[in-house]
Amino acid sequence: MRWKTAELTGWGRVLTGKAELARPEKPAALSQILKKSPAPAIGAQRSYGDAAVNGNGRAIDMTRLDRFISFDPETGILHAEAGCSITDMLDTFAPQGWMPAVMPGTGFATLGGCIAHDVHGKNHHKAGTFGQHVVAVDLMGADGSTKTITPESDPALFKATIGGLGQTGAIVSAKIKMIPCSSRLIQVDERRAANLVEFMEMLKASNATYCVGWIDGTANGQSLGRGILEEAELTSSNMAPKRRKPRKVPFNAPKFALSPPTVRLFNRMYFNRIPKQGRGVLRSLKDFFFPLDKIHDWNKLYGKRGFHQFQCVLPDETAERTLRDMLRLIADAGLASPLAVLKRTGAGRAGLLSFPMEGFTLALDFPNSEKSRALVAQLNALAAEAGGRIYFAKDSLATAAQARQMYPELAEWQKTVEAADPEGAFKTDLIRRLKLRTPA
């Protein structure tokens, strides 16, 4: 297998590193690579920070291991290789009446990446995380050998692998439980929320299967925390969705493209596009679940400087006060982009380092600058003080001390990981930056 030098980067394009990269096409080739030169496995590089970066080292690109191995239409169990994308699953099985139980915010995410980060979606309050629908994982160690792990056969290793950032070995393939999909169209009802209190109450009261909110990070005063709530249900329509032609951002945008006045104007117009009485729209599954996928390379809108995404989850008891403090800081700083999300989360999580907890999650993007890095540092500190967590799939600025404070099961995870990878072959820049494998 040939190694080629490549520039690895997170989707935020701030944390990067040169590495030698191999792209195996079959499990046997992957086994030979790991035997000779074990290295971390990476997917589509859609995590925002340095989870898929191994600067001055080696990495294994799993995206060519993208085959469907088997599907049982009676049980809905799909066995697929780790490089399969969520979009591939949806395109193939939605016409047959099935879809992944949990859909992340981008269809470009791979099966292996979804497991390694235990991703969540717009139905977390009801369906939990992606890992809770994983039946079995085929895991390859640094010696090139593969074993199948399940929640029953090896509960400790399974819980360390789900959401475990690839540290227990390379995920070769997995079996997941799909859910029935009655249509490729989804009914979306949109309503305005005048402020944070009203927004949170609307989220708490929602009984919709899928529920997500856009929040205006530029609003302040009496409008602090205003936004738009989207509630959605699958339809029974047999109509095929219209094919959407993707657009591409061809070059790095100049700084003024996301300047504070531009973002404030956009957010005002975006909020007011929804009538006061609300409205209902029919969308394709892709348009609802992956709204930004139709704009290829949208991360170039932030220019060469890149951007940071801050995402935290806060427990119910501290959420309102902390969100209010965060939104005031964000509005006063004038750094928020139009891409901001508020969601209600349930208690579901499958791994020791899985992100969600019961409460509320806030996610915002900030163009990379000294000022924005200082702002994110303040937001990370507020999340830690409130008993919340930051999301490793999005993080680029948290500290090792904050990671330990936010993830109390870290020591238990470390114990299993060290047994699975005693030489540290699967470490990445994220692991080193946050000292996730360093004992307290």
Q: Give the CA count within 13 Å in the CB-facing half-sphere of 137.
A: 35
CA dist., res. 62 & res. 138, Å (int): 14
Terminal-residue alpha carbon distance, the chain = 38
With vertex at residue 321, the alpha carbon angle to CA 262 and CA 207, rounded to the nearest 5 degrees, is 85
Q: What is the pLDDT of residue 244?
A: 73
Q: What is the pLDDT of residue 292?
A: 95
Sheet holding 227-234, edge to edge: 279-284, 185-193, 227-234, 210-215, 340-345, 359-367, 307-315, 389-390
> How far lies 203's CA from each of 197, 261, 343, in Å?
10, 29, 7
Q: What is the pLDDT of residue 1?
A: 66
Residues 6+ apart with CB under 8 A from 278: 189, 190, 191, 192
Parallel, antiparallel or unpaired: strands 57-61 and 295-296: unpaired
Helix, strand, coil abundance in the chain, percent, nearest 5: 30, 25, 40
Of 150, 160, 58, 166, the closest CA to residue 111 belongs to 166
Q: From start to end of 216-318, where are the E strands?
A: 227-234, 247-248, 279-284, 295-296, 307-315
Phi, psi dihedrals of residue 277, rounded to the nearest 5°: -85, 0
> How far lies 272's CA from each of 198, 202, 268, 332, in Å?
17, 18, 6, 22
Residues 6+ apart with CB under 8 A from 271: 192, 216, 226, 227, 228
Coil, strand, or helix at residue 344? strand
Q: Are 303 and 257 in contact (CB under 8 A)?
A: yes
Q: What is the pLDDT of residue 223?
A: 97
Q: What is the pLDDT of residue 251?
A: 87
If you search the block for the tokens 């290789």, which residue do you land on? Answer: 81
Of 136, 181, 361, 161, the closest CA to residue 289 belongs to 181
Q: What is the pLDDT of residue 386?
A: 98
List, for the chain, all residue ranges whose pLDDT scores fall below the cut of 50. none
If you search the block for the tokens 């199948």, which residue do you land on? Answer: 148
CA dist., res. 298 & res. 39, Å (int): 29
CA dist., res. 19 & res. 9, Å (int): 10
